[in-house]
Structure 1
Amino acid sequence: MDVLDLLSSLVSFQTVNDPSKGEMPSRECPAFVQSTLQSWGIDSEIIEHNGAYAVVGEIGEGLPKVMVMAHFDVVPVSKDEWHYEPFKLTVEGDKAYGRGSVDDKGNVASLMFALKELKEKPLNGKVLFAFTGDEETGGATALYIAEKLHEINKLPSFLINADGTGMIPIVRRRKGFSVTISVPTAKKMTKGKLEEQTFEIRTPVVETRHAAYFLPGVDTHPLIAASQFLRETDYEAVSLTGAFLKSNVVPGTVTLTYVKPEQGTQSEVEVDENLTKLIKAVVPLVRAPIKAEKYSDFGVSITPNMYTFDGERHSLSLDIRAMSHDNQDIERTLKEVLSYNLPDAEVDFGNKEKAGFLFTDPKEPFVQTVLQVLKENGERAKAVEGAGAADSRYFTPLGVKAIDFGPKGGNVHGPNEYVEVSSLKKLPHVYVQIIDKLLSL
């Protein structure tokens, strides 16, 4: 078995994490990870936290110097948009397609093989590892692990959070915030013509559905387009449907059913005044002037990715990315926007999670060591900012130096997600070399 075979097995586990449908990864995938490690002589245990499972363990002796981490849960799929079976790894040329192939099961497989190789070497310190199952829904297990290690004085000096792409160390990441805005139905009858329009996502440069990678000015968000459509007309909304999957996944399509006033029309159609107001409020909400604590290449991004209707209330979830620790300014700014556009809305600003943004100085010996190994392996030696948030944000507030890292690939959170096979096969050895050098710092 090589790393590609292992990834194929991991992809076959449908570890979708979708709270809206009550889906969470079962114990089956972590049990497979544990048994595979055990067959290589690596002891581990499966822990459970709030219904999510993780595989944790350690190799080596002495003080914990390095920790490696990756996640096996994945985002939902819209099968109609896939050219391949999402849960069966399909290799074509140098690309291996499958949900989680690059985010993040390719990293799970690579780290497992790295641990196998490290187990046979004399190590100058202890290496901790964790494979978690709830990163895509906030990473509560990573927070739990970080706090436990802090309590027992076993925090590592360095964390390699294998939740990146491009074979490039990610040293900055914004924190993700979630906000849900809801309004009750407010139906009335109006005269006009019933019409429908579908708006589609457009990502002309980088094909992805990950909300953190959405770049205003380059990409087109279908719900933002629908909002501007209503704002530029006097049409009223009847219903809103679309490929809504998750709060941090940009929908591929959004269909707006509305009534267009037409002179002389006597037929009446039922519209929803509050749905109309909610959709119109999207444009000012995504342009809210939120201030950040630190600079980010990506600035502050706000995307409206999840809409639901339970028969009584319309709910819209915003995914917010900012280089900030808390959401006090976010709350204040969004409330001001809503006071002008949707004053009667209920707003849920989510959990006040104990997390921060990722910020590790590229001049740190830790980062320079990673860059040195990459250069020796013929890779581009450059530290960059990553668009999405990651579980490293639970360790950085505790003083742990961290980077995010991973293989080359594409279509993160989108259809036809893939990992580059050549990159994947190189990755375990790169991890081994990095960890070896970090243990000597």
Structure 2
Amino acid sequence: MMELLSQLIEFETVNDPAKGKKPNKECPKFIKDALASWGIESEIIEEDGYYTVYGEIGEGTPKVMFMAHFDVVPVNVEEWKTDPFKLTVIGNKAYGRGSADDKGNVAGVMLALKELSTKRLSGKVLFAFTGDEEIGGKLAMHIAEKLKEENKIPQYLINADGAGMSPIIRRRKGFGAVIEIPQQKITIRGRVIKKSFTISTPVLQTRHAAYFMPGVDAHPMIALSHFLRNNDVFAVKLGGKFLKSNVLPSRVELTYVEPDESGEEIEVDLGLTELLKSIVPLVRAPISAERYSDFGVSITPNLYSFENGVHRLRLDIRAMSYSSGQIEKVLKEILEFNIPNAKLTVRHNEKAGYLFTSPDSKLVRVMMKILESFGEKAKPVEGAGASDSRYFTPYGVEAIDFGPRGGNVHGPNEYADVSSLELLPKIYAEVAMNLLKK
């Protein structure tokens, strides 16, 4: 298990569209070749330059499907204490980008398939390893549509993209909002000051936007907005460690001007000032969801850019909802009051749903039984982030997400517990065998 995970992590499968980075074909080819060496046939499917390894084992009706993703989020190398693309084991922690999200699961499913391929199965086991989960999961959507057209939709989906060694039975859908406003320069007298704002996550060390907990964690962009709203100052420019729309920036730096008639003449940007001030009301938008969630509705401002005279702020929104209508309505009302000349675009995938599986379902009961047999104390929980299982739930597939214990997902020094990693192949194989029993 650890040897296979080490090989997977060495593939730099970073997905960062803003910088034109995407996983190449090397990692999926490695997965395909490894499976082939164990006598498991698969194919590599390409969509828009992204790759999926898809295959089937067994005979008969498709009953169980495994899914995991090999792409990872970008890294700030200077924040890591180890090489993010070399598996480094310290004690019971295996450090490396993707160790927890999600290459540990890729390795676990691969080895489970190796075991299952030696058994006589009463039904087909499908599998897919995707390369674009971190940027929306269109490959998973494509696979779900393909299986629907071919009448191969499985009864059960084990989406190996979870954490904590507990079956995740609920996960919200992700929405993205982009707010654009042109720069508006004016000249005032004053003095230039720079002020930095840093992230603080004192309880759960992660940079994943879905896990941000207002009242506990400090978001640098929200703190910056609060500062501007409570001081008579004007923004000049904004810089920071912006990585991705669902990754919290670790630090941002605001250059601003404090008015002073005795000071020098300086250009400030009213457009940027008003955009940043609007963050506080935007993240407190009274959005109502269609179904209950432990995490409620979360809104975080994680990505800012300036190009061709236009400021762009991207919000990550999580809600147990299918449509974006109510979200868009509330955000528009906030912007009309605060910055009426701003442009709003709300994005979501209409073919995606959310995960909401009953704790009494057969899949959950079987998983709980197997976990107990391995001495794991677990209970069905809700996961904060969205996952590719949302493309299968609209077809009535009974689904859970699952994964190893670990931490710092999407952040520096991501790790997974070695003991839980080593259990994954056994758990996945046993769950599949139990679900395939007549």
State how far apart, in whole Å, the 2-side matches of 1:440 and 1:387 are.
Answer: 32
Which residue does the alignment assign to 1:156?
A: 154
State how far apart, in whole Å, the 2-side matches of 1:183 and 1:219 are.
Answer: 28
- Give the letter for the 2:174 counterpart: G
- Give the alignment of 1:22-421 within 5 angstroms: 22-265=20-263, 267-421=264-418
| SS of 1:192 mapped into structure 2 | strand
- Give the letter for the 2:298 counterpart: S
| SS of 2:422 mapped into structure 1 | helix
TM-score (norm 1): 0.98
- Give the letter for the 1:288 counterpart: A
- The question of whether the paired residues in 1 share the 8 Å contact of 2:324 and 2:348 is answered with no
Per the TM alignment, residue 261 of structure 1 is displaced from its structure 2 partner at its CA by: 1.6
| SS of 1:62 mapped into structure 2 | strand
1:232-291 Cα shifts (integer Å, max 9, x gaps): 0011000111100000000000111100123532x0111100000000000000000000
- Give the letter for the 2:207 counterpart: R
| SS of 2:347 mapped into structure 1 | coil
State how far apart, in whole Å, the 2-side matches of 1:381 and 1:19 are.
Answer: 37
- The question of whether the paired residues in 2 share the 8 Å contact of 1:372 and 1:381 is answered with no
- Give the letter for the 1:244 counterpart: F
- The question of whether the paired residues in 1 share the 8 Å contact of 2:241 and 2:250 is answered with yes
Identity, in percent, stands at 61
1:304-354 Cα shifts (integer Å, max 9, x gaps): 000011141110100000000110000111001111011111112124431
State how far apart, in whole Å, the 2-side matches of 1:185 and 1:353 are.
Answer: 33
| SS of 1:276 mapped into structure 2 | helix
- Give the letter for the 2:205 counterpart: E
State how far apart, in whole Å, the 2-side matches of 1:341 and 1:80 are.
Answer: 37
State how far apart, in whole Å, the 1-side matches of 2:349 and 2:432 are.
Answer: 33
- Give the letter for the 1:353 counterpart: E
- The question of whether the paired residues in 2 share the 8 Å contact of 1:235 and 1:261 is answered with yes
State how far apart, in whole Å, the 1-side matches of 2:147 and 2:30 are.
Answer: 25
- The question of whether the paired residues in 1 share the 8 Å contact of 2:322 and 2:350 is answered with no
Which residue does the alignment assign to 2:434?
A: 437
Which residue does the alignment assign to 1:427?
A: 424
TM-score (norm 2): 0.99
Cα RMSD for the two superposed structures: 0.8
State how far apart, in whole Å, the 2-side matches of 1:227 and 1:311 are.
Answer: 23
State how far apart, in whole Å, the 1-side matches of 2:177 and 2:146 are.
Answer: 28
1:75-115 Cα shifts (integer Å, max 9, x gaps): 00011111111111111111110101100000000000000
- Give the letter for the 1:389 counterpart: A
Task: Return 340-349 or 323-332, whichever deviates more.
Answer: 340-349
State how far apart, in whole Å, the 2-side matches of 1:167 and 1:350 are.
Answer: 32
- The question of whether the paired residues in 2 share the 8 Å contact of 1:10 and 1:29 is answered with yes
State how far apart, in whole Å, the 1-side matches of 2:258 and 2:331 are.
Answer: 30
| SS of 2:111 mapped into structure 1 | helix
1:172-220 Cα shifts (integer Å, max 9, x gaps): 0000001111111111111111001110000010000000000111111
- Give the letter for the 2:246 counterpart: N
Structure 2 unmatched runs, 5+:
none
| SS of 2:100 mapped into structure 1 | coil
Per the TM alignment, residue 381 of structure 1 is displaced from its structure 2 partner at its CA by: 2.7
Structure 1 unmatched runs, 5+:
none
